[in-house]
Amino acid sequence: KYLNQFLDADKAVFAFPLWNFTVPAVLHTYFDYLAQAGKTFKYTENGAVGLLTDKKVALLNARGGVYSEGPAAEVEMSEKYVSTLLAFFGVQDVTSIVTEGHNQFPDKAEEIISEGIKQAADTAAKF
């Protein structure tokens, strides 16, 4: 069911937090449903090839701390995981919006969240 919904869609939006350095378990399980040889990718003599080259995807990722730079960047595995998996599936048109630091910098939280909402709205208008 979930695989067919995704295959039938021209566009998809995934909104998810950084959760223990990765994605929530339910989203991970969803991607497990999608990762099926012959459906989202195929094997060739040269290795795996993605089959979903006509998809457009937007990623909305929220992180309480800053994980896009510095030492914490190495442990960020939410956006990296989803982007890597989509690329494996052949999806080339991916837009990422990351809102981060609203818990780390509570005095700037309102500004950070407002900017994330603005970026999401701008992306939606073009999506």
pLDDT by residue (tens digit) across 5-64? 999 999 999 999 999 999 999 999 999 999 999 999 999 999 999 999 999 999 999 999
pLDDT given for residue 72 in this prediction = 93
pLDDT cut 90: percent of the chain above it? 98
pLDDT given for residue 15 in this prediction = 97
CATH assignment, 2-126: 3.40.50.360
pLDDT given for residue 18 in this prediction = 96
pLDDT given for residue 62 in this prediction = 97
Q: Which residue type is seen at 53?
A: T
**What is the mean predicted confidence (pLDDT) over 74-79?**
95
pTM above threshold 0.85: yes
pLDDT given for residue 82 in this prediction = 98
**What is the crossing angle of helices 25-34 and 79-88, to 10°?**
10
Measured between alpha carbons, how far is 33 from 113 in angstroms, rounded to an integer? 31
